[in-house]
């Protein structure tokens, strides 16, 4: 079962920051938080992941609370092409090839 809770949908105006929350209150010490998104009719696309510290890359920023029970994905300047389903996933890395277990995700709609 998915170990995360996300709002089912969010709206964002084009050019504004999109802040997508995720609750993972049962996360264990060595589990990472991953974010993926899926644009209609495509495969899921990796965005970012982190353990404890905040992370930033060319796509987004990931803010993880100090107690690690929740996180926020930030898209700093949302565009229409960012309209997608965003999945927050908790993953335990191990030797056997740990798969991603997807929850229901958040449908982000960016409008002009």
Partner 1 sequence: DTEVTQTPKHLVMGMTNKKSLKCEQHMGHRAMYWYKQKAKKPPELMFVYSYEKLSINESVPSRFSPECPNSSLLNLHLHALQPEDSALYLCASSRPLSPSSYNSPLHFGNGTRLTVT
- Write out the residues near partner 1 by the rule CB under 8 A: 2, 32, 34, 41-46, 49, 85, 87, 91, 93-105
In terms of CB distance, is 26 or 57 closer to partner 1? 57
C-alpha–C-alpha distance, residues 40 and 19, integer Å: 20
Which of 96/112 has CB closer to partner 1?
96
SS3 10: strand
> Three-class SS of residue 96?
coil
Q: How far is the CB of 90 from partner 1 (least distance, A)?
A: 12
Minimum CB–partner distance for residue 29 and partner 1 (Å): 14
Q: Which is nearer to partner 1, 75 or 87 (CB)?
A: 87
Instruction: State the nearest-atom distance from the C-beta of 106 to partner 1, in Å.
Output: 11
CB 22 within 8 A of CB 108: no
Q: How far is the CB of 97 from partner 1 (least distance, A)?
A: 3
**Separation between Cα atoms, residue 112 and residue 94, nearest integer Å:** 43
Whole-angstrom CA distances from 42 to 38, 39, 90 are: 6, 6, 22
Closer of 14 and 49 to partner 1 (Cβ) = 49
Residues in the chain: 112
């Amino acid at each position: 079962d998915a170990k995360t809770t996300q709002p089912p949908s969010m709206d964002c105006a084009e050019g504004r920051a999109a802040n997508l929350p995720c609750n993972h209150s049962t996360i264990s010490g060595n589990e990472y938080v991953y974010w993926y998104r899926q644009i209609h009719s495509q495969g899921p696309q990796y965005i970012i992941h982190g353990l404890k510290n905040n992370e930033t890359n060319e796509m987004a920023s990931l803010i993880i609370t100090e107690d690690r029970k929740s996180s926020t994905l930030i898209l700093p300047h949302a565009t229409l092409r960012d309209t997608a389903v965003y999945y927050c996933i908790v993953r335990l890395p191990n030797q056997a090839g740990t798969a991603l277990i997807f929850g229901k995700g958040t449908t982000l709609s960016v409008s002009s």
